[in-house]
Structure 1
């Protein structure tokens, strides 16, 4: 099929080529890259700060192992925290007052962790337990090799096993919501501004004479969706590099499946919002009008963003099923909670239905208002206009 038979494709190509030469688009991409890289690298930096890691113990034997691990670990080493018993140690670990706890086990020791045990701590404690145990066993005469290594086995038990450490999951949760918020807002404003510029320069009248108005809308939506997805791919690649560079490759095993869901939510949410942003531009006649015509779109983005980041668990659960809000809330929940598969599927179905309705409404309003000039129109007035 000839491209002339697909005018929306020509408009989409025009949108893409124009944006790729736009300094605002390039600048926003660089800003997003910076923010995402900070979100990826900062948790690793924070995890490496704070002086000596605290290890809880309940007896002298455990304290000796931690002290031995501290001498071989280097740097700040480890700080011994004495507690009365295992419940007290578990409380210290759960509250985050200590990094881990070293307790007597059936065949040596048990290392308690909250959602994970740092690989460096586990390795150091294993080596120290082996060294201390062998030293004690070697003092005995006539031991077999099995006896020599008895009491040196270290098992790991997690009190609250989870997919990611709390700090990392929160950073990734905020990062995903921020990526959607900033991408939808940035591209949305660019869509609205381009529509107004075409109206002010009368270019839209020339385009409307040659191309159906709905094709103008579909072309803008498609072109900007392609650009937004491309931006997301670039950001994802930068995140991958950042995770590998900071030795956080294990996080990818958890984030990668959620990232696939995020793309689905992103595309559906962005397409719905892109239509609304185009309508916001068609209601205006000057750039100064965009402050009021784009306000509903900004609110639709801002309120769900704050919900997805700062709201409590119950509010996030509700928001994850609300169209548009689900694009920011559901991927974050899937990182921090054990979400049943039916929940994201239901959220996608609701978002898909809402996207179809919003796009159809947006197309009608766009047709009615694009060629209206002279003054700014309101949404109620636009709904009352007759279709052209």
Structure 2
């Protein structure tokens, strides 16, 4: 069934399927298409049967005001629920979620494969003495706990050893010399073979020389032990901090841009198709914006929780419980800052969609916002020292830098609290300004507006 809606700005035509938001909100108030607010007039097609008196049935005395007030309280919930239901079926949202999840799981899988696989080295040898050196090298590697597998491949002569190396059947060859031993390779040196076979050669020579000198290896090695002590064992390693900060920044940038552009596009499509005029006749524009923002935030946080759970499971599967313990405080604060940052950016992207009149305008209105997010991402992952400390107290950039400082153990307990309060104050200001732009520009369909022009418009 098709209905024609006349408003102060023009006439639009919409179908029942295309006006879900207006219909849902209008149903709460007992209206037929959400146009009982007095700003629109619904006319039924000629083939529709008119009512007996030509008018709508009168509402019960005293019920209209109370029902309308209750409906407005529920309106944003209806919009938020619809926003989430549409988003969860959106192909772009699903593809980006699955692709990011696959990237996380793939990276974890590669790390598990690399960590579980031993480095295998095949060494061609000729004669029993060379074989004994290889066996000692294997013993030393196993004793150290390294995932190294050294295998000796016996050959009939030194020439055969060199031939095996040249043909690629062996990674290296071990040959005797007048002063000891020599490793031979084809085009480059195998560091694993050099380390462990070199240690085996030195150990073998030390045993032989100690026997000839009438002493023991223990006496000759006295005072030669080396221990490794960590002065700050509780601090997170630099590589873990760098990777964690990069992951935080990448996920924030990805979610902000994808969800923000999607939100702006949906707003301008509703505006271009004049559907927003039907919706605005049933609910306040402020409720419409709140519903869209709440729906976007819930979906963004849900998406991030899925990614976080996948990362936690991956770390546990790799046996990295120590790493998980080190990053958990930063991860918790990241989710908090992430929620605030997404709320701010969602409002800004909504305003960018409201000042547009066509989908072709989206790129020009959202590019500045996307550029700011890109700068925040690059600055957040590359900052260090005092510059990183300063960024950790600035809105948006604190979403990346403050959790990174917490993971590194360089932030006092009060710093994330103060940073969050600053972000909340800035978020309140930006949200209020974006809401004003949204309300004043959404119903302007004549041309694309600037932020300044939108603020000058009357509501």
Which residue does 1:277 correspond to in 2? 349
Unaligned stretches of 5+ residues in structure 1 = 53-64, 79-150
Name the counterpart of 2:141: 70
Taking the aligned partners of 1:3 and 1:31, their CA distance within structure 2 comes to 39
Please list the CA deviations of residues 130-183 of structure 1 after superposition, one character each: whole Å capped at 9, or x if unmatched: xxxxxxxxxxxxxxxxxxxxx9x9976214535333222211111111111111
Distance in 1, matches of 2:233 and 2:90, equals 47
Deviations 1:201-259 (A, max 9, x none): 11111111111000010000000111111111111111122112222122221222221
Query: 1:184 matched to which residue of 2?
Result: 256
Would you say how many aligned residue pairs link Structure 1 and Structure 2?
A: 309
Equivalent of residue 259 in structure 1, options 314, 331, 340: 331
The structure number with the bigger radius of gyration is 2
Cα displacement (A) at 1:345: 1.0
- Offset at 1:337? 3.7
Cα distance in 2 between the residues matched to 1:174 and 1:212: 41
| Equivalent-residue separation in structure 2 for 1:38 and 1:308 (angstroms) | 25
TM-score, length-scaled by structure 2: 0.61
Segments of structure 2 that go 5 or more residues without pairing to the other structure are: 1-68, 121-135, 151-222
Offset of residue 297 of structure 1 = 1.4
Instruction: For 1:189 and 1:291, locate their aligned partners in 2 and report how far apart those are by CA, in whole Å.
Output: 9
Correspondence 1:338 to 2:398: no
2:354 equivalent to 1:286: no
Q: Equivalent residue of 2:396, what SS? A: coil
> 1:226-241, aligned counterparts within 5 Å?
226-241=298-313
Contact 2:118 2:147 in 1 (8 A): no
RMSD value over aligned CA atoms? 3.3
* TM-score (normalizing by structure 1): 0.72
SS of residue matched to 1:371? coil
Equivalent pair of 1:177/1:332 in contact (CA under 8 Å): no
Q: 2:88 aligns with which of 5, 12, 20?
A: 20
CA distance in structure 2 between the aligned counterparts of 1:362 and 1:321, rounded to whole angstroms: 22
| Structure 2 counterparts to residues 118-197 of structure 1, below 5 A | 157-197=229-269
User: Does structure 2 conserve the Cα–Cα contact (< 8 Å) formed by 1:3 and 1:9?
Assistant: no
CA–CA distance in 1 between the matches of 2:76 and 2:256?
A: 21
Q: Verify the 8 A CA contact 1:16 1:223 in the aligned structure 2.
A: yes
SS of aligned partner of 2:229: strand
Equivalent residue number for residue 363 of structure 1: 435
Q: 1:284 to 1:213 in 2, by over 3 A?
A: same
Partner residue of 1:128?
none
**Contact persistence 2:354–2:442 (CA under 8 A):** yes
**Larger deviation, residues 207-216 vs 286-295:** 286-295
Q: Would you tell me which structure has more helix in proportion to its own residues?
A: 1
Report if the CA contact (8 A) 1:199-1:285 is conserved: yes
Report if aligned partners of 2:388, 2:401 keep a CA contact under 8 Å in 1: yes
Other-structure match for 2:457: 385
Write the deviation string for residues 304-331 of structure 1: whole angstroms up to 9, x where unpaired: 1101112332222111111011111111
